[in-house]
């Protein structure tokens, strides 16, 4: 019975298939016929449009020929004659200007209103127009170019050129908007149009009209009948060639209805045989759709089924994950093949102990993934388990803990950095509240109260008191400046994080940025006994001068701070539209694993309490954010023991000039 029904179903399917093929072929022929009619109507409409445009262009070519004849007939055409010619042109020609060019420069322009070309214009500023002039010189035929947007001109232009040897080239200037209006191109049509030239397509230039994507849609292409033979018009129905003919939906609905009836009969015949297979497929598809690994064991621990994700998780034993394999055997083999990370306790579990209803076990695999395993016993005694990849969650937790540690270290550092200058300030303030107890003050008091006043002794005592006061004030000034710098860093970083930082980006000279920094850094380098070199190419940079100086102070200050002997150098140069501020030192260098992290907030290469250099760890993070906010970046290259190079790159400003200044200071020459 089943065999007979299967044979009937196969025969029915063959009939249905043959009917579908015939219907599809018939529909294809009808679609081709419809497309052929569309192509014909599109061609006729394109021909009509082409004739309208040809009429417009030929009018202007006739005017160009008349102008060429005028120039060839006279040795010198006066301005009056040129004006008369221009005034006699019909207004419908939309010719805005007549030009005469020689050697790539406009020598005459009539009229010469603002917003159009003027005498002295150099065609080389527009490569497309310059190329058109070259073609006009090498040909006796008129040449068109455009639409082109010429600097200083308010709208795109269409240009018609004709060589007059040896006088040069005459040009008719037609505003693009006027050409579109007169040729009626702006009228709404049921076509997608493209009017272009071979050069515009190949050189990716703006076409005469339309969108460039028409080329890729198999358009109807017609050539214009111009003397130079360069223009083409391409078109196709609005939205492209239809994929279906009108009314195809109703026909397909009928065919679908017939097919549905036939397929319903076929489905009924195969219902019983497919029911069990559909249930199995549904279970497999559902389990494979899970993002987590799914496994099912029977009550004795033998594998019943898994999904594909489970096999991807335990990739070392994929060949052993087959129905009937025992849990213990699979677990032992996984441990032998290195499936689990060293020290993972999963390898020691046997089936009876691993199946604790609802218990959660964390597994660490060989490739660093973290898997969370849970198993549950079902009502029939079988066990179903889930294996969830929590690697990203673990990594996020580790990153959060690292960030928390970094902030804790930052708060410890900040507490130390703030306490140190405050201790100095408060200490000196309390000390000088009792100035009369100071040795210098007591000594001066004794001299003043002596019966015989000695002016020299009084002067010496006063000088000693002044020196003591000056020393205290220097300490207070140093500590206050350090405290202010710390607070400034914290406030700047807070503004950056909250998105309230305001920058005043403007074109400014490199000298206005570098000179104040060089003056201060030269002194710092000399005080530490370091050689400071500076070479600057004068020019313009697009930046916020204040923030740019802050970045350079930070980079150069760090270079001096971490360089015990040798030199620190600043080189400013322009390369490929960028201004590079290169800071180089001969210090201890930065290990490769720390070079990316030094730009992280709160990070210091040495964050211990005994670190050699003070600071909050915000300086480079703030500097990098400042650079990025100005459209630049900071990069670093370094080798341990050989020094470091930090490069601040910012966009070049306008009107940059190439000149160089060299500044070099040594310990024996500075101060």
Tell me, what's the pLDDT at 385?
A: 87
Instruction: Average the pLDDT over 115-132 and give the result.
Output: 80
Instruction: Average the pLDDT over 497-525 and give the result.
Output: 85
- What confidence tier does 586 reach under pLDDT thresholds 50, 70, 90? very high
Tell me, what's the pLDDT at 25?
A: 81
Give yes or no for residue 483 having a pLDDT over 80: no
Residue 464: CB atoms within 10 Å: 16
Q: What is the 3-state secondary structure (H, E, C) of 284-295?
A: HHHHHCCCCEEE
Tell me, what's the pLDDT at 534?
A: 92
**Cβ pair 110, 98 in contact under 8 A:** yes
Residue 504: CB atoms within 10 Å: 10
Residues 6+ apart with CB under 8 A from 308: 288
Main-chain dihedrals φ then ψ at residue 197, nearest 5 degrees: -125, 165
3-state secondary structure of 362: strand
- What confidence tier does 414 reach under pLDDT thresholds 50, 70, 90? low
Higher pLDDT among residues 179 and 648, named by residue: 648
- Which residue has 């083999």 as its token pair? 333
Tell me, what's the pLDDT at 533?
A: 92
Higher pLDDT among residues 32 and 455, named by residue: 32
Share of the chain above pLDDT 70, in %: 82
Query: What burial letters (b/e) apply to 594-619, b meaning 16+ CB within 10 Å?
Result: bbeebbbbbbbbeeeeeeeeebbbbb
Instruction: Average the pLDDT over 310-315 and give the result.
Output: 88
Which tokens go with 632?
């630049």
Q: How far is CA 428 from CA 380, 415, 434, 475, in A?
A: 83, 20, 10, 8
Give yes or no for residue 347 having a pLDDT over 90: no
540 CB-side CA count, 13 A: 10
Q: Please write the tens of the pLDDT for every residue from 75-108.
A: 688 888 888 888 888 877 788 888 888 888 888 8
- What confidence tier does 582 reach under pLDDT thresholds 50, 70, 90? very high
Left if phi > 0, otherwise alpha if psi is -120 to 50, otherwise beta: which for 229?
left
Higher pLDDT among residues 183 and 72, named by residue: 72
Higher pLDDT among residues 461 and 156, named by residue: 156
Give yes or no for residue 567 having a pLDDT over 70: yes
116-120, 222-226, 624-628: least confident range: 222-226
Mean pLDDT of the chain: 78
> Using CA atoms, how far apart are residues 590 and 614, in angstroms rounded to an integer?
17
Tell me, what's the pLDDT at 535?
A: 92
> Using CA atoms, how far apart are residues 95 and 93, in angstroms rounded to an integer?
5
**Cβ pair 316, 334 in contact under 8 A:** yes
Share of the chain above pLDDT 90, in %: 8
Q: Which CATH architecture has domain 502-665?
A: 2-Layer Sandwich (3.30)
Query: What burial letters (b/e) apply to 90-123, b meaning 16+ CB within 10 Å?
Result: eeebbbbbbbbbeebebebbeeeeeebbeeebeb
Confirm or reject CATH 1.10.287 for domain 396-496, answering yes or no. Answer: yes
Could you tell me where in the chain the CATH 1.10.287 domains are found? 396-496
Tell me, what's the pLDDT at 664?
A: 41
Could you tell me where in the chain the CATH 3.30.450.20 domains are found? 290-389
- What confidence tier does 670 reach under pLDDT thresholds 50, 70, 90? very low
Write out the E strands in 419-561. 506-509, 531-538, 540-543
Instruction: Average the pLDDT over 523-529 and give the result.
Output: 87
Tell me, what's the pLDDT at 480?
A: 75
Q: Please write the tens of the pLDDT for every residue from 621-643.
A: 888 888 888 999 999 999 888 89
Tell me, what's the pLDDT at 644?
A: 93
Which tokens go with 55?
């009429």
Write the DSSP assignment of 618-670 as a string of letters. Answer: -HHHHHHHHHHHTT-EEEEEEETTTEEEEEEEEEB-SS---EEEEEEE-TTT-
CATH T-level topology, domain 290-389: Beta-Lactamase (3.30.450)
58-67, 125-134, 195-204, 450-459: least confident range: 195-204
Q: Please write the tens of the pLDDT for every residue from 323-337.
A: 998 888 888 888 888
- What confidence tier does 579 reach under pLDDT thresholds 50, 70, 90? very high
Which tokens go with 189?
């049509």
Instruction: Average the pLDDT over 571-584 and give the result.
Output: 92
Could you tell me where in the chain the CATH 3.30.565.10 domains are found? 502-665
Tell me, what's the pLDDT at 532?
A: 92
- Which residue has 């072929």 as its token pair? 25
**Angle, alpha carbons 470-471-476 (nearest 5°):** 95
């Amino acid at each position: 019975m089943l065999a007979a029904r299967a044979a009937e179903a196969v025969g029915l399917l063959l009939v249905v298939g043959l009917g579908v093929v015939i219907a599809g072929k018939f529909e294809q022929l009808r679609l081709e016929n419809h497309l052929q009619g569309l192509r014909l109507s599109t061609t006729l409409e394109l021909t009509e449009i082409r004739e309208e445009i040809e009429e417009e262009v030929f009018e202007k070519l006739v005017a160009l020929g008349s102008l060429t004849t005028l120039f060839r007939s006279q040795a010198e055409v006066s301005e009056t004659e040129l004006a008369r010619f221009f005034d006699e042109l019909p207004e419908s020609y939309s010719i805005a200007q007549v030009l005469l060019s020689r050697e790539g420069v406009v020598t005459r322009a009539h009229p010469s209103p603002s917003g159009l070309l003027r005498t002295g214009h150099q065609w080389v500023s527009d490569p497309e127009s310059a190329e058109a002039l070259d073609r006009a010189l090498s040909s006796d035929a008129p040449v068109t170019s455009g639409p082109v947007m010429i600097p200083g001109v308010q709208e795109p232009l269409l240009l018609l050129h004709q060589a007059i040897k040896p006088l040069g080239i005459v040009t008719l200037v037609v505003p693009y908007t006027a050409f579109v209006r007169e040729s009626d191109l702006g009228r709404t049509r049921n076509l997608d149009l493209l009017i272009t030239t071979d050069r515009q397509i190949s050189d990716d230039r703006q076409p005469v009209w339309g969108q460039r994507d028409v080329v890729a849609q198999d358009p109807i292409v017609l050539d214009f009948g111009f003397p130079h033979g360069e223009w083409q018009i391409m078109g196709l129905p609005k939205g492209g060639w239809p994929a279906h003919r009108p009314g195809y939906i109703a026909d397909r609905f009928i065919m679908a209805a017939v097919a549905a009836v036939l397929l319903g009969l076929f489905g009924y015949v195969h219902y019983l045989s497919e029911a069990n297979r559909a249930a199995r497929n549904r279970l497999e598809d559902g389990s494979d759709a899970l993002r987590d690994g799914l496994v099912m064991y029977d009550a004795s621990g033998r594998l019943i089924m898994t999904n594909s994700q489970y096999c991807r998780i335990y990739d070392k034993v994929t060949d052993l994950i087959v129905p009937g394999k025992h849990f213990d055997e699979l677990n032992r083999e996984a441990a032998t093949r290195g499936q689990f990370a060293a020290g993972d306790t999963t390898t020691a579990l046997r089936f009876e102990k691993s199946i604790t209803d609802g218990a959660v076990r964390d597994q660490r695999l060989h490739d660093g993934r973290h898997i969370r395993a849970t198993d549950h016993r079902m009502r029939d005694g079988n066990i179903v388990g889930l294996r969830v990849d929590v690697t990203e969650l673990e990594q996020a937790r580790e990153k959060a803990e690292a960030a928390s540690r970094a902030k804790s270290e930052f708060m410890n550092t900040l507490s130390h950095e703030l306490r140190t200058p405050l201790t100095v300030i408060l200490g000196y303030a309390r000390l000088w509240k009792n100035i009369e107890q100071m040795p210098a003050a007591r000594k001066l008091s004794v001299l003043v109260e002596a019966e015989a006043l000695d002016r020299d002794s009084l002067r010496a005592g006063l000088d000693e008191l002044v020196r003591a006061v000056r020393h205290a004030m220097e300490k207070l000034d140093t500590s206050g400046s350090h405290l202010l710098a710390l607070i400034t860093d914290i406030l700047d970083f807070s503004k950056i994080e909250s998105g309230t930082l305001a920058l005043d980006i403007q074109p400014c000279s490199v000298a206005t940025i570098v000179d104040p920094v060089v003056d201060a850094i030269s002194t710092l380098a000399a005080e530490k006994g370091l050689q400071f070199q500076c070479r600057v190419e004068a020019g313009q940079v697009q930046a916020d001068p204040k923030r740019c100086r802050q970045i350079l102070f930070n980079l150069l200050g760090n270079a001096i701070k971490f360089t015990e002997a040798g030199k620190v150098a600043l080189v400013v140069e322009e390369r490929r539209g960028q201004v590079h501020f290169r800071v180089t030192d001969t210090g201890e260098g930065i290990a490769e694993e720390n070079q990316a992290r030094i730009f992280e907030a709160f990070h210091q290469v040495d964050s211990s309490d005994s670190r050699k250099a003070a600071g909050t760890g915000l300086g480079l993070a703030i500097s990098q954010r400042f650079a990025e906010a100005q459209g630049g970046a900071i990069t670093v290259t370094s080798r341990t023991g050989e020094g470091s190079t930090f490069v601040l790159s910012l966009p070049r400003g306008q009107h940059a000039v190439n000149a160089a200044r060299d500044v070099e200071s040594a310990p024996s020459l500075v101060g």
